Structure 1
């Protein structure tokens, strides 16, 4: 038996090898086809990318025709370099550089020589392309923006780099890929599938027809259309209100977690990053280290949340049983505590209970509630972890899992945080009391603030914020319909909501009421420091406001952060009222607030950080243009796709 084992294994292995070789050489010749064969040329047909619509079916992003000049270096013959450079308006040095780059990539494979020619440029070169062997056109489609806002939402498309080409076999040199925004998040669906034609050539490199009569040819499959949760009118309005300001606005539908608006300021018209001028414009925006227009402040900017964080301080204290609605705290326009420091307050003072503590935003009340929470436990480290876990149940201090490619965790401190800061111990509730009012080590992004308010509006639960609403033929990721419940009992939200409602009736936002809409909100002001000339200087505070409406059956939750905006009720608060009315009524009655906010410019504040760069001036010109277009042009509703879409010629 043992003597037969080895010969049997050899015979079996040999038989399998022979069968595999027979299959590859006789039955299946696709590997032969796919290999680089001089007698076969691949021609790609690029599909249209999927169209992008808003939640109501407004077409926001379509496509337009574009042409790339491709080159195969080893096929270049007798090229009149001077004439070609004049025709394409490039220098001889640039020509040599582009050819050398293509040769390094591959002397036998096509690569992009000059990208994104428009129709007129294409027509001029098409007449003479036969004179230039080794060059040919590759038709593609670029984005055609139907709106002049939402650049941070859409992202953009750009050429793939060599690293990605080597990593992903789908892409070839010169292919386009989505970067940032929904273009990146949903690239696999939006890009479609390339079609391929295999052309046979003779020994003189002349095309003689389809390989195997087109047996292996495939047709291009158009990308999937997607509907975003964004409300186009609300997004546009938010960007108008933020002109000449810096910050972010995030609006969410509480019952679904759908993102209604995602505004970052300063922003830019997405159309400036399409075509031959893309590189120049992008370079300007990229190198603007002052305004950072490519930086999505709604998702990336981490700020101390200020007074809106008192909402969570109160909820945790109620849950831990250290206060109730009737707990009284005395405020003397300041709250004294250890180390000779005190916490200033702007309420009217006297004896306050929870309700008044909220609508007058009393620092003393919430500092007391926080310290009672920490002092409930023998060890401060245990207490702060209990507190931290409650706060994190609102989705804070961690990546939220939304369907956009960028984001920040924010920061919710725990015992490990303070062990690093105070390695010798000695810290207690008075040491970290600034957390109670959203200062200290607490950091949040605007989208986290908005989600916090959506959770309060829902009385204790939220859905992961997301920007995709519908994809034809596909289901939305299950994680966006999964309910997340906080560690706070539902009963504790009602007194907090009552206090937030009276912020608009008798509190810090009483001047911002909108007749007929019951709004619950909270003003906030966060201290703002910057390093200028090596010195830490306190600048004008950030203006913060969070809100939801209506009070019963809320339809929108919103957070606004305006850098250097001052008090929360000065700039962020009016923007919240205006955005809420715009969404719920599609019109504005508080014209006084609208005029004031549109006329407000904080550029003088930002100039203290280093002046205005050329990129900022470019953005301001775009903003002025945006301000003069107060309605969405040519709103198109998605009904029959074939009737709506533009033909790419």
Structure 2
């Protein structure tokens, strides 16, 4: 019995000893493998690992003109545990900072809430994006300040003060981005918007590392293993854009003094040739240590220069929408190109015309004359072709078909398979929306939503979408997703529109007549057949917006353009000349109508003056 008791105790003691050994093993594993603090501390005694940042990829336009490149910059880093006997005042004087900044910065570095990756053993960023003039004084005397190091970087430099919204900017990465991508560490920089954001992984390159050997007192003795373990940084890939930068500069020049935007696209390829938004800013002001200050200033500007109106501005397309209405109504059998409707000018009801012209009106004349009553009647004949009674399922089905065909031209949705950073989706109202607004399926019909027939009402589109619409019409029923990267793979993103090719010629003819006999005849380029559509878009917040869309030349179109000038009134007065000058520059390589260019450039809208 006694022997049994001793035998049991032996098992218990053995079990306890085994558990203790396992716990020690687990703790050692945790310290040496899982936890990095002790590992970093041990390694930092013998090595200094210096991150080598790669040069960011260069950016060119379609004609190989250099737009964005790099210039040298420097960071000041520190390892807290190595700082001793620091002459703080001398250090601050050399860096041209005050002592309070130094104290605050050290406190921020040690604050785990602001700097979760803090360790006294690893390099921490003290100051970033310094120019050679900023570190000139301290560069030769860094040995006096143990624990502080100079680290090479690069900053973006811009060859031109243009295309800020397209190119984007570089900014310090957020904690969320660090957590989602182990490439980044605290203090790293990455693309924040525009092309810099969209192609961040391509442009950023790969980091390298230089391993330096320390002696027992922490002094640098040279490279570890003569640099055999070093990893060289790999520069980012260069990027060629679809932009024609000469055209981009002209677009921004013509928009000065106005609030609005321009988008120009090559219909055959979907390549964006120019994308301008005004007010704008010089992209160079969002580089370096002044970035935060300048960004906040732009953010508070009442004219919203940070907003890319070309992709984020949402407007009723107005008469420009009639070109699409003509196509869809033909496809759905509501009208043919020979269908006639009467027009009594401003006395017409329930939709008025803006002017008197011949009556009855054909589809061709309706496009040329921008006849509101015609397109109202065409819209009603289309969506009510199978009736509209309160229990009529056919009406609801027909309206859904109309929405589907309209959206097939790239309206009402973002271009999700493209490379544009920020977009608004626009809006094509659905049956569900109207059921909610009118509280039942029975509360609405064509006359209830008649404003949609002329591109007003609930219909909204961005200038980018309207330029793309012109591409789809120019291509007689398809478009390639608008894009900025001049890459062959983008050409495969073809979208077929849900209107047959046979319905396009009458719209072509009507848009051609706008330049030959209609509202845009004063903006025609001599010797070039052009197609366009003027839009004067109602604005509930003030004066009407001026819209103009079109493409040129009529046969084998090379460029499609959408122009909007906010609160400027008639489209033919402000928007059409901008369209015409841009088309001339691209097709002929120069502007011959210098008087028109000067007049358009120097015209300032009242809304711009008021906002400023």
Whether TM exceeds 0.5 here: the answer is yes
Aligned partner of 2:595 in structure 1 is: 592
Greater share of strand: 1
Relative contact order, higher structure (CA 8 A, sep 6+): 1
SS at match of 1:190: helix
Separation in 2 of the partners of 1:308 and 1:32? Answer: 62
Contact 1:157–1:177 (CA<8 Å) still a contact in 2?
yes
Inter-partner Cα distance in structure 1 for 2:604 and 2:609: 11
Counterpart for residue 644 of structure 1: none
Q: CA RMSD in A?
A: 2.3
* Structure 2 residue 449 is the aligned partner of structure 1 residue 437: no
In structure 2, the residue matched to 1:317 is 329
Structure 1: gaps spanning 5 or more residues: 1-20, 471-475, 531-538, 613-649
Aligned twin of 2:4: none
For the pair 1:547 / 2:550, whether they are aligned, the reply is yes
SS class of match (1:399): coil
Q: Deviations over 1:435-487 (max 9, x none)?
A: 111111100001000000000000000001110014xxxxx5x4542321111
- Structure 2: segments with no counterpart, 5+ residues: 1-24
1:38 aligns to 2:44 (yes or no): yes
Return the alpha-carbon distance in structure 1 between the equivalents of residues 250 and 527 of structure 2: 21
1:371 counterpart = 2:380: yes
Deviation of 1:211 after TM superposition, in Å, equals 4.1
Q: Please tell me whether the aligned partners of residues 270 and 483 of structure 2 are also in contact (alpha carbons under 8 angstroms).
A: yes
Check if 1:386 corresponds to 2:401.
yes
1:248 to 2:251 alignment: no
1:571 aligned partner: 574
Q: Distance in 2 between the 1:31 and 1:584 partners?
A: 64
> Quick check: 1:356–1:499 contact (8 Å CA) kept in 2?
yes
Q: Aligned match of 1:605 in 565, 587, 607?
A: 607
Q: Are the counterparts in 2 of residues 305 and 442 from structure 1 also a CA contact under 8 Å?
A: yes
Q: For residues 1-150 of structure 1, what are the structure 2 equivalents within 5 Å?
A: 36=40, 37-39=43-45, 40-104=47-111, 105=115, 106=118, 107-150=120-163
Does 2:522 match 1:511? yes
Give the SS at the match of 1:501.
Answer: helix
Output aligned runs, 1:187-586, within 5 Å. Answer: 187-211=200-224, 214-288=227-301, 290-334=302-346, 336-337=348-349, 342-378=351-387, 379=392, 380-401=395-416, 402-424=418-440, 425-470=442-487, 476=488, 478=489, 480-530=491-541, 539-586=542-589
8 Å contact from structure 2 (residues 353, 371) kept in 1: no
CA contact (8 A) 1:264 1:298 kept: yes
Q: Is the 8 A contact 2:343 2:353 kept in 1?
A: no
Q: Mean alpha-carbon deviation: is it higher for 201-210 or for 224-233?
A: 201-210
> What is the CA–CA distance in structure 2 between the aligned matches of 1:108 and 1:465, rounded to whole Å?
49
* SS of 2:409 mapped into structure 1: coil
Scaled by the length of structure 2, the TM-score of the pair is 0.89
Contact 2:368 2:513 in 1 (8 A): yes
Deviation larger for 215-224 or 364-373 = 215-224
CA distance in 1, matches of 2:102, 2:174: 20
Instruction: Give per-residue Cα distances to partners, 1:488-524, cap 9 Å, x unaligned.
Output: 0001011101100010001111111110111100000
Distance between the aligned counterparts of 2:174 and 2:305, measured in 1? 24
How many angstroms apart in 2 are the aligned matches of 1:38 and 1:517? Answer: 71
Number of positions where the alignment pairs a residue of Structure 1 with one of Structure 2: 568
Greater C-alpha Rg: 2
CA-to-aligned-CA distance 1:7-35 (integer Å, 9 cap, x gap): xxxxxxxxxxxxxx9xxx9xxx9999995
Query: What secondary structure is seen at the aligned counterpart in 2 of 1:544?
Result: strand
Q: CA deviation at 1:90?
A: 2.4
Output the CA distance in 2 between the equivalents of 1:259 and 1:408.
17
SS class of match (1:575): helix
Aligned to 1:5: none
Decide whether the 8 Å contact of 1:66 with 1:141 is kept in 2: yes
| TM-aligned CA deviation for residue 91 of structure 1 | 2.7
Q: Measure the CA separation in 2 of the matches of 1:487 and 1:410.
A: 19
Sort the Cα spacing of 1:587 and 1:479 in 2 relative to 1 into closer, same or farther, 3 A.
closer
Asked whether the 8 Å contact 1:251–1:260 carries over to 2, the reply is yes
